Amino acid sequence: MSADVGLKGVFAHSEALFRTLFLSFPDAIFVMTAHGRISAVSPVAAQMFGYEEQELLDQPIEALIPQRFRDRHVQNRQNYLATPGRRPMGSGLQLYGRRKDGSEVAVDIMLSPFVSDGEKFVLAVVRDITDRRKAEAALRESQERFQLLVEGARDYAIFMLDPEGKVITWNSGAERIKGYREDEIVGRHFSVFYPHEAVERGKPAHELELAAAEGKCEDEGWRIRKDGSRFWANVVITAIRRDGALIGFSKVTRDFTDRKRAEEALVLELSKAVLANPDIRQMLKAIEDSLQSLIPHDYAAIALYDSSAPHELHVQQLKPAGEARPLESVIRVQGRPEGWVLAQQEPLLLSQVENKSLSLMKHRPWSEFKSGCWVPLNYRGDIVGTLFVGRHEGELSRQEVDMLLQAGNQIANAIEMDHSFRRIVQLSSKLKEEKRYLEEELRTEYNFEEIVGENRSLRAVLKQVETVSSTDATVLILGETGTGKELIARSIHKLSPRRDRTFVKLNCSAIPLGLLESELFGHEKGAFTGAISQRIGRLELAHLGTLFLDEVGDLPLELQPKLLRALQEKEIERLGGRRTIPVDVRLIAATNRDLSKMVKEGQFRNDLYYRLRVFPITIPPLRERVSDIPLLVNYFVTKHARRMNKPIHTVPHDTMAALMAWPWPGNVRELENFIERAVILTPGTVLRAPLGELENPVGESGDGFDPNLLTAEREHILKVLKDCNGVIGGAGGAAEKLGLKRTTLNSKLKKLHIDRKDYA
């Protein structure tokens, strides 16, 4: 009977649909009678078992079952027909089919009973699962190997956690390290391994959150064994996901207690050495002693990197205690093992040098050793050098290389501590010098606390100050003695981007010639007789700030080229020193001398003059800004009266007129000194000024000024009236320039017998 005939008899309904499905379905399909005879077979089924379709029709289904299963299968078939039902594929049974050639095929079967024309049938769908069985076998083998690996890793605690952090697997290494048997720990939360204080801080939960968010969490810290003892653990927690969903964590723990104790011992020894004597040689000896106890060796050397010479390394050979001081040398970085370690930031074994195409320096001891290793000196991500340890006998173990790596980090910290200490010593020296300088400044009586005045010429000066302050240009302040050159210099500094740095002042005329160079550039200990210690100069002290050279016209000719070089090259050398020191200084110079005339006479270098005269500012003398005298007088009276706790509120008009009439050859400084004396002499609330002092001193009567105050006042008012073309009031009038009210000026004209014909 053909397949089509069988199908027609069995399935009278939906014949076309079933035929299409039956012929194209990818799995094998059999139709069996209640007696176990094959009634219909699909092309795929015949091909799977190696038969022609007609060969299988009306055959017992047991013909396709291996001999060892046939007797059992007959009973199973009868049981199935007694209680028929659908059994899906994938039930997990180890089922096999027998091909025509006698070979077997692994299968899964789905059985479904049905009735047609009152007769019972069974539909069987058979799937070839040979490839799946092979994959499952390979997976089981891989799992078994992995389990053997996990169980054999006795130096590692390897176990799994569920998403909440409960232990679900345990290996022998975990039992050895942590002390728990599997039945004691599975199901408990892994926080049991953490110290109480870490649990209170929420560290276990935080590590799981971090691993879940970033995929992995690495940590080192103290952990707790079952017996309560602590050990230093290196921990890696990895998140495990399936189809994007978190299903748990793997946790690998190593016991690094011995390494931690060795590190602490090394740090302790290095710390003692640094604190006892912060000298690099003493530190190198401490490093050697600590290394010898940590990793026995026959030779060790440190190669230090200097950013100022990026192609070279400074090698310091470490010597055991009692031998000669360490030998020093300089080597090239390129092509050397040390250079490879610097670039790769990884350890390098002596046995690997030839494979890396690196060269060993001639007359160096590397080739004498049977084993050795270079490791980077890593300080917070920056490689400051390398460390080499060599042995004549015996290989370095992996554990020793790891310990050497950790020692390298600690040595890098110690070396950086030494560098930091040296920087602190230098900074401390600078701060001491700065403190001494500031104390001197505090003892100095400043002439101003702020600029006072509204005169047009003064406002022009202030505009210049505002313009140049935002730049780093050199400023040359010109003006007579007492006009406030230092005040202008300080104003430029306070308005500049360097305002938060130091303002350093040096008066070139106030320091003896022999000490001026040391004061300006500094000196080293022993640079000259009496130089008992190092001293930082004013240029170095003003680094990143402002240097004010007052009375620069008194700077000796022999020092001028050295100052010019410092300004142009931005570097100096202390007296007796060989090291170049960078200095970034904004220079402001001041003088009351005619520098251009001095240049013509050969008393001042023209190149320095033009370097200083980038932006000249000329301060007008007080006699050219008479209108500012009342403001200055009131300001100084208030200032000194408050300081002396005196209630002075009034300055008499006659006194003010006399003060305005005096030409003030000493300018604002002379005016302030005079007002201070007046405040001292005043017993009440009205200023009592010693006007009798406003006379030319002996020997100065030939300067063109009349000693009689009224005559001087009359001449001054006449001059102002003539300058104003006789205009008394209004803008630009004589009253405004004299700082008086118009009515007051008219009264003075009558008092001084000044007629219009005198000034018209």
Task: Specify the pLDDT at position 694.
Answer: 79
CATH of residue 68's domain is 3.30.450.20
Specify the CATH number for the domain of residue 692.
Answer: 1.10.8.60
Query: pLDDT tens for residues 171-226?
Result: 888 888 889 998 999 999 999 999 998 898 899 999 999 999 999 998 888 899 99
Output the pLDDT for position 705.
41
Asked if the structure places residue 265 within a domain, the reply is: no
Query: Which residue range forms the structural domain that includes residue 385?
Result: 277-421
The per-residue pLDDT for 621 is 92
Q: Is residue 134 part of a domain?
A: no
User: What DSSP element (H or E) covers 159?
Assistant: strand 156-161
Alpha-carbon span 326 to 366, nearest angstrom? 16
Among the residue ranges 12-16, 236-240, 397-401, the one predicted with the least confidence is 12-16
Tokens of 115: 């009735």
Residues 117, 155 share a domain: no
**Pair 15, 56 in one domain:** yes
Residues 634 and 751 in one domain: yes
Specify the number of domains making up the chain: 5
| Residue 591 lies inside a defined structural domain of this protein | yes
pTM: 0.42
Report the pLDDT value the prediction gives residue 633, as an integer from 0 to 100. Answer: 92
Angle at 699 between CA 696 and CA 705, to 5 degrees: 35
Average pLDDT of the segment spanning 388-412? 81
Averaged confidence pLDDT in the chain: 80
Residue 29 domain flag: yes
Q: Is a pLDDT exceeding 80 seen at residue 624?
A: yes
Task: Determine whether 583 is exposed, middle or buried from the number of CB atoms within 10 Å of its CB (0-12, 13-18, 19+).
Answer: buried
Decide: helix, strand or coil at residue 337. Answer: helix
If you average pLDDT over residues 117-130, what whole number do you get? 86
The residue-averaged pLDDT of 5-13 equals 51
d(CA 159, CA 155): 13
Q: What is the pLDDT of residue 699?
A: 37
Confidence of residue 614 (pLDDT cuts 50, 70, 90): very high
Instruction: For residues 531-557, give the mean pLDDT.
Output: 86
Check whether residue 394 and residue 466 sit in a common domain.
Answer: no
Both 148 and 92 in one domain: the answer is no
- Give the integer Cα–Cα distance in Å for 556 and 433: 24
Cα separation of 52 and 43, whole Å?
Answer: 8
Residues facing 235 on adjacent strands: 219, 253
What pLDDT does 473 receive?
Answer: 93
On whether the CB atoms of residues 234 and 254 are closer than 8 A, the answer is yes
709: in domain: yes
Asked if residue 636 and residue 604 are part of one domain, the reply reads no
Q: Mind listing the pLDDT tens digit for each residue in 364-374? A: 555 678 888 99
Q: Which are the contacts of 544, defined by CB distance < 8 A and separation ≥ 6?
A: 498, 501, 502, 584, 585
Structure tokens at 222: 């103290």
Residue 484 sits in the same domain as residue 585: yes
At 314, the pLDDT band (50, 70, 90 cuts) reads confident
Tokens standing for residue 203 = 């560290």
* Rounded distance between C-alpha atoms, residue 113 and residue 34, angstroms: 9
Q: The domain spanning residue 327 has which CATH number?
A: 3.30.450.40
Q: How far apart are CA 720 and CA 734, in angstroms?
A: 6
Residue 629 lies in a domain: yes
98 lies in some domain: yes
